[in-house]
């Protein structure tokens, strides 16, 4: 399930790269019933070419349907015009960035957070359908958590 409730923002949409902002904008429009969708389509065509833009938006729509149908939990998406980026939106961006960077371990670690059974809806293929066309047209998403270690190393006493 996908919900459009604002949460405490971590980042502002203005702190995102163009590619990240474009995806958050498209996701919010899609979740909101594809209001003014022709504007989203035009922006993707301008950024990725006619076929690339269509490919990305089709894959994005299929991926979001997969999240709605096979999702592990409710995903919080900001409403159109919301200035913050929800933690769930950032996690989606990080998942797409990991797929673009050919980081299968990161993808494998993040998919179960989103899907109860990722293989059931071919989540990896749908993810690649978003990530690779964006990469081909030069819209790379940064790996924002790169270099951070979520663990503490313990050393043995001498």
For the segment 88-96, the average pLDDT, to the nearest whole number, is 93
pLDDT in tens, 48-89: 999 999 999 999 999 999 888 888 888 999 988 899 999 999
**DSSP secondary structure code for residue 71 in this structure:** B
Q: Determine the pLDDT at residue 3.
A: 54
Region 134-148 average pLDDT: 81
Lowest mean pLDDT among 2-6, 60-64, 142-146, 150-154: 150-154
Closest C-alpha to 45, from 32, 58, 62: 58
| Mean of all residue pLDDT scores within the chain | 85
What band does 5 get if pLDDT is binned at 50, 70 and 90? low
> Mapping DSSP to helix (H, G, I), strand (E, B) and coil, where does residue 21 land?
helix
Q: Residue 92 is encoded by which pair of tokens?
A: 């989606």
- Asked whether 72 and 114 are in contact (CB, 8 A), the reply is yes
pLDDT digits 0-9 by tens, 6-45: 555 568 899 999 999 999 999 999 998 888 899 999 999 9
DSSP assignment of 87-155 equals: HHHHHHHHHHHHHHTT-HHHHHHHHHHHBSSGGGGTHHHHHHHHHHHHHHTT-PPP-TTTT--SS----
Entry pTM: 0.83
The confidence band for 2, taking pLDDT boundaries of 50, 70 and 90, is low
Domain ranges of the chain: 2-136
pLDDT band for position 151 (cuts 50, 70, 90): very low
| Whether residue 102 has pLDDT greater than 50 | yes
């Amino acid at each position: 399930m996908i919900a459009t409730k604002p949460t405490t923002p971590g980042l502002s949409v203005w702190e995102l790269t163009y590619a990240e902002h474009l995806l958050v904008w498209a996701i919010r429009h899609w979740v909101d019933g594809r209001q003014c969708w022709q504007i989203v389509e035009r922006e993707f065509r301008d950024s990725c070419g006619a076929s690339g833009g269509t490919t990305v938006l089709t894959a994005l729509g299929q991926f979001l349907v997969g999240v709605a149908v096979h999702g592990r939990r409710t995903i919080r998406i900001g409403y159109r015009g919301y200035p913050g980026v929800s933690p769930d939106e950032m996690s989606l961006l990080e998942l797409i960035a990991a797929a673009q960077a050919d980081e299968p371990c990161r993808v494998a670690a993040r998919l179960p957070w989103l899907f109860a059974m990722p293989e059931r809806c071919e989540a990896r293929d749908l993810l690649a359908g978003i990530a690779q066309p964006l990469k081909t047209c030069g819209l790379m998403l940064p790996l924002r958590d790169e270099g951070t270690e979520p663990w503490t190393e313990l050393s043995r006493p001498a």
